């Protein structure tokens, strides 16, 4: 594809829209699907994963599995590619994640635990900085060392080795999602019992544990702060459906908050978004929880949402991934809201873009002070990462004129069809020219 064509398609155009109406279906969670795919390497044979989002990050994980020697295929129904993947894991794999793939997707490091568990060795390129700045993996390595692994790093590659992983009690100094996942996967075939204290509690961790148990693992307590893993010798392939994406669901909640109207989000699990829904309810959105669907109603226009203060925290706190969406909502709410980022220090890069759209936001350390304005004004902006890109798109729904979001490939990393879904809800949004 020529660069000219790429640059035309790498743009999302949005016009002021609303009220929205209708029904939207969320896909499986990116941040679960990637880990389940990595976990398949622990059991040779044919795995089937359903409800997998067809997004760029999943394509990179497919590339990584293929690089190692697995055969990965999307299933088709009546000639149309469905959201199901088969992964055929051979008896032997190349236990490595090369730089070109780790650089494209930092989440590639979740193969470390599974590879050590299965082969007693793993070579993974050191992830560099990313859109949020420097993100260390010290907790991943320390936890795996406590199970008996040793690591050396040279020429930009982390080399891990272990004769036999041994169960242990591990206290994580912080409930890191990635460290919990690497450790959990490594512990599954470790000898004896592993207890992970201060584990991350995100719904995607519980999903990974359920998947591993489907493979024959003995994991209990996942979703809580203490996870216990009784090591087993053998795992088998599994067929599994990925948990719905709570961040994608939140994106449509923000869209209706910004554009008005009422929509139904199929697959949205209110029980996975409780703190967020409390905040959005305090702002004036109304919800009807149908278990695995959520109906949301925005205040009648010209009514505005009310401002609130929000702090991001590990689950069950308000996720850092929701924050750009919340800043977009607060930028047109009535009053002043203070957002405090406690998870990723550098995650404010989209704020100058919202300010270009007329938002009144001041950043002080890890706080963003957002003074709501009545209406934003469409402008050319740039998506710095997946969630911020989506937030700029939905902010455009509340901006007079046209907003053109460049670097839209970031959005495609995490959303299967954000533009199509918003358009079907009645938004004036399109890709490229
Ligand atoms: N941290 C360390 N050392 C470590 C690991 C983490 O200092 O060894 C720090 C990080 O630098 C960060 C904090 O701990 O300040 C939290 O990091 P965590 O490990 O919990 O996050 P992650 O596993 O790297 C996942 C999601 C992110 C999401 C965070 C927080 C995936 C692929 N990524 O990242 O999602 O924001 O948890 O919930 O699951 C996204 O989807 O766009 C995304 C960035």
Sign of CA dihedral 353, 384, 83, 236: negative
Task: Assess whether pLDDT exceeds 60 at residue 2.
Answer: no
What is the torsional sign of CA 36, 40, 42, 47? positive
Chain segment 13-44, per-residue pLDDT in tens: 999 999 999 999 999 999 999 999 999 999 99
Mutate to test the pocket of ligand 1, among 177, 201, 202 (most ligand atoms within 8 A of CB): 177
Which residue's alpha carbon is nearest to atom 17 within ligand 1? Answer: 176
| Check whether domain 8-26+244-431 has CATH 3.65.10.10, yes or no | yes
Question: Which of 117, 121, 113, 73 shows the shortest CA–CA distance to 94?
Answer: 121
Indicate which residue of 130, 309, 334, 407 is catalytic. Answer: 130
Q: How far apart are CA 242 and CA 412, in angstroms?
A: 19
Are 111 and 92 in contact by the 8 Å Cβ rule? The answer is: no
Q: Where are the domains of the chain?
A: 8-26+244-431, 30-241
Distance between CA atoms of 249 and 231, rounded to whole angstroms?
A: 35
**Does the beta carbon of 183 lie inside 6 Å of ligand 1?**
no
For residue 299, CA distances in Å to 64, 292, 372, 382 come to 46, 23, 16, 30
User: What would the mean pLDDT of 46-58 be, rounded to a whole number?
Assistant: 97
Nearest to 119 by CA among 211, 179, 44: 44
Specify whether the CB–CB gap between 234 and 42 falls below 8 A.
Answer: no
Instruction: Check: CB of residue 279 under 8 Å from CB of residue 254.
Output: no
User: Among this protein's residues, is 278 annotated catalytic?
Assistant: no
State which ligand 1 atom lies nearest to the alpha carbon of 30.
41
CA 310 to chain centre: 20
Does 30-241 match 8-26+244-431 at the fold level? Answer: yes
Q: Averaged over 341-351, what is the pLDDT?
A: 88
Q: pLDDT tens for residues 83-96?
A: 999 999 999 999 99
**Residue 133: band (very low, low, confident or very high) from pLDDT cuts 50, 70, 90:** low
Residue nearest to atom 18 of ligand 1 (CA): 176
According to CATH, the superfamily of the domain at 30-241 is Enolpyruvate transferase domain (3.65.10.10)
Is the shortest distance between the CB of 178 and ligand 1 below 6 Å? yes
Quote the ligand 1 centre to 136 CA distance (angstroms). 9
Task: Tell me, in angstroms, the distance from the centre of ligand 1 to residue 137's CA.
Answer: 9
Q: Could you give phi then psi for residue 352, rounded to 5 degrees?
A: -60, -30
Query: Atom of ligand 1 at shortest distance to CA of 319?
Result: 38
- Percentage with pLDDT > 70 across the chain: 97
The Å distance, Cα 141 to ligand 1 centre, comes to: 15
pLDDT tens per residue across span 358-379: 999 999 999 999 999 999 999 9
User: Cα separation of 189 and 268, whole Å?
Assistant: 33
């Amino acid at each position: 594809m020529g660069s000219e064509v790429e640059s035309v398609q790498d743009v999302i155009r949005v016009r002021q829209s609303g009220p929205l109406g209708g029904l939207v279906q969320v896909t499986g969670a990116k941040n679960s699907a990637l880990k389940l795919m990595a976990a398949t390497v622990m059991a040779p044979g044919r795995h089937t994963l359903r409800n997998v989002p067809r997004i760029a990050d999943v394509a990179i994980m497919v590339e990584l599995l293929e690089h190692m020697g697995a055969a990965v295929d999307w299933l088709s129904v009546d000639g149309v590619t469905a959201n199901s993947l088969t992964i055929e894991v051979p008896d032997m794999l190349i236990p490595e994640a090369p730089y070109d793939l780790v650089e494209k997707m930092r989440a590639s490091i979740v193969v470390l635990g599974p590879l050590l568990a299965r082969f007693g060795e793993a070579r993974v390129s050191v992830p560099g900085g990313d859109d949020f700045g420097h993100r260390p993996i010290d907790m991943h390595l320390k936890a795996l060392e406590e199970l008996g692994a040793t690591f050396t790093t040279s020429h930009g590659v982390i080399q891990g080795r272990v004769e036999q992983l041994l169960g242990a009690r591990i206290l994580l100094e912080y409930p890191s999602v990635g460290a919990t996942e690497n450790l959990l996967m490594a512990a599954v075939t470790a000898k004896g019992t592993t207890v992970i204290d201060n584990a991350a509690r995100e719904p995607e961790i519980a999903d990974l544990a359920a998947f591993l148990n489907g493979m024959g693992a003995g994991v209990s307590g996942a979703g809580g702060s203490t996870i216990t893993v009784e090591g087993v010798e053998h795992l088998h392939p599994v067929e599994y459906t990925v948990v719905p994406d709570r961040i994608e669901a939140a994106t449509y909640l923000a869209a209706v908050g910004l554009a008005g109207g009422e929509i139904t989000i199929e697959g949205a699990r209110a029980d996975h978004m409780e703190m967020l829904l409390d905040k959005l309810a305090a702002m004036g959105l109304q919800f009807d929880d149908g278990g695995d669907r959520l109906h949301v109603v925005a205040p009648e226009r010209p009514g505005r949402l009310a401002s609130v203060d929000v702090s991001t925290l590990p689950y069950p706190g308000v996720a850092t991934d929701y924050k750009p969406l919340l800043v977009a909502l607060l930028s047109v709410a009535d009053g002043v809201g203070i957002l405090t980022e406690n998870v990723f220090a550098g995650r404010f890069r989209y704020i100058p873009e919202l300010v270009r759209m007329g938002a009144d936001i001041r950043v002080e350390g890890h706080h963003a002070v957002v003074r709501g304005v009545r209406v934003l004004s469409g402008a050319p902006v740039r998506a710095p990462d997946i969630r911020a890109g989506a937030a700029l798109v939905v902010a455009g729904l509340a901006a007079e004129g046209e907003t053109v979001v460049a670097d839209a490939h970031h959005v495609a990393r995490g959303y299967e069809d954000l533009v199509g879904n918003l358009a079907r809800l009645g938004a004036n949004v399109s890709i490229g020219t």
